[in-house]
Structure 1
Amino acid sequence: MGINKKPFIFERPLIEGVIRKRRNRFIMEVDIDDTVYDCHCPATGRIGNIVFRNIPCLLSQSNDTKRKTSYTVEAISLDLPSEDNKSWIGINQNAVNRYVEHFLKTGQLSAMVENGNNVMREQKLGNSKLDFLVGNTYLEVKTPLTELQVEIKDHIATMKMGDFNSFERFVKHISELAESLKQNQRAILLNCFIYKNPGYKVPAKHKHSDYVREVVQSCIERGIEIWQINFKITPKEVNLINYFETTNDFKGGGTALN
């Protein structure tokens, strides 16, 4: 899919480092050329079940001298730090909207939504702000990271997965999406992966699964669509791999939490 094959290009190439420790939700300690810096972690929730010890990463550097952290961790790799051609997993859940906007406006998502030039960001709907209004279609972007659907190699340390409780925002947004269909033609929940993911899998069952499943089923019955998009991130750019509709897959009870 797509017609232009035009990547999202970073203003400055990303820098490679090695995460020594995730100190808290917001800070990762990263070794850059033998100096350890406190770097901003843009995904405040759980990122898979990996232990952040000697994990390669890609970082962007800010020009804002007032920031407490000069660097932001944009992507991680589950390859060894010594490997030359690493596979990267993007973790910046804020930046993904910039990627989606770029590929909308360059006409590369026309099989999902037309009128890519008519894109408005952060549109208020009810008590929520949804990510995009494209023509007459509301589009909400989610970047699931609680379970990484990639091979976990033997050298990667893992931890026991805790119960997942951060579902309220998802329920609120998907419900507002469904409500938008009273006045708009279409509403799309877009699951974005900044790595190659063949098909989204339902997260492990948790104590709120039945409730969230009921909400998803109700919203699908009201007409929302669920799509998936896969990006590839490199130090220089983000490329579109593919995108496809997955609504039918979720009719069996899948959820799309991030």
Structure 2
Amino acid sequence: MRFSSMLGRGRLIQRYKRFLADIIVDDQILTLHCPNTGRMTGCAEPGWTVYYSTADNPRRKYAHTWELCRDDAGDFICVNTARANQLVAEALAEQRIPALAGYEQVRAEVRYGAENSRIDFLLSGPGRPDCYVEVKSVTLHEGEGQGFFPDTQSVRAQKHVRELMECAQAGHRAVMLFCVLHTGIERVSPAEHLDSKYAALVREAVAAGVECLAWKAEISPEGMTLTQPVSVKV
């Protein structure tokens, strides 16, 4: 996935009101839309380099969208959570994830489950059980290559694990795909220290047949691509 135009660059002042961030560009303050509902722990330190896209829609209140940042170690982090599903959709279309290759049909945002969720991707084809794929964006890095999800307690993420367990128990394939959007992360685990219930549910889900995969993106201001699997320890 290449960005549609060259990203602008500035220095982060602060993120605030969840969906806004101020940066400095050429000694001027510019306000960006921040497309991330999470805490963004370790992704938004003042002074870090920020990369942003610019929309040509005159109706937008904030024309600029925060896409990436670069930490003091030189690692790139994608803070636009919508990019995770875009990257996975691209990888599925190009059959680049071997464990999820060979399905004839890929549908996005399909309603399923007793808790009225939408699965990120439903893969199907003759002679194979349907495959339900839930995508999670991983950006929490706590050193030595270790990444975690989620970055805070998440009732919504817990619900998704329960839904995947129901899919597996019904005879379908159920896959949790961690999309690693921090170039410093080399392995992924559920964040038991932040959401112990989620971590326990993931372990229960794996025992029930849910698969856990993690793929890491190569990230630069020019674009991003899922390029390699990384290990998952539950």
Rounded Cα–Cα distance in structure 2 between residues aligned with 1:102 and 1:150: 29
Match of 2:121 in 1: 132
Rounded Cα–Cα distance in structure 1 between residues aligned with 2:230 and 2:171: 22
What does the per-residue CA deviation read over 1:181-238, in whole Å, with 9 as the maximum and x for residues that have no partner? 24453110011111332111443624x51x3333222211221001111002211111
Greater relative CO, 1 or 2 (CA 8 Å, sep 6+) = 1
Match of 1:242 in 2: 228
Rounded Cα–Cα distance in structure 1 between residues aligned with 2:143 and 2:7: 22
User: Displacement of 1:150 after TM fit?
Assistant: 4.7
Match of 1:108 in 2: 96
1:47 aligns with 2:40: yes
Match of 2:200 in 1: 214
TM-score (norm: length of structure 1): 0.77
Match of 1:123 in 2: 110
Greater share of residues in strand: 2
Match of 2:137 in 1: 143
User: Displacement of 1:244 after TM fit?
Assistant: 4.6
* Selected match of 2:59 from 60, 66, 71: 66
Match of 1:173 in 2: 160
User: In the alignment, residue 215 of structure 1 is paired with which amino acid?
Assistant: L
User: In the alignment, residue 134 of structure 2 is paired with which amino acid?
Assistant: E
Rounded Cα–Cα distance in structure 1 between residues aligned with 2:8 and 2:220: 10
Match of 1:96 in 2: 84
Change over 3 Å in CA distance of 1:218–1:87 after alignment to 2: closer
- State, as a whole percentage, how many aligned pairs show the same letter: 25
Change over 3 Å in CA distance of 1:202–1:186 after alignment to 2: closer
User: Displacement of 1:50 after TM fit?
Assistant: 6.2
Change over 3 Å in CA distance of 1:185–1:245 after alignment to 2: farther
User: Displacement of 1:51 after TM fit?
Assistant: 5.9
User: In the alignment, residue 56 of structure 1 is paired with which amino acid?
Assistant: T
Match of 1:38 in 2: 31
Match of 1:187 in 2: 174
Change over 3 Å in CA distance of 1:227–1:37 after alignment to 2: same
Q: Which runs of 5+ in 1 are unaligned?
A: 1-7, 81-85, 152-163, 251-258
Number of matched pairs: 221
TM-score (norm: length of structure 2): 0.85
SS for the counterpart of 1:38 is strand
- 8 Å CA contact 1:104–1:116 kept in 2: the answer is no
Match of 1:253 in 2: none
User: In the alignment, residue 51 of structure 2 is paired with which amino acid?
Assistant: L
Q: Which runs of 5+ in 2 are unaligned?
A: 125-129, 145-150
Rounded Cα–Cα distance in structure 2 between residues aligned with 1:64 and 1:117: 35
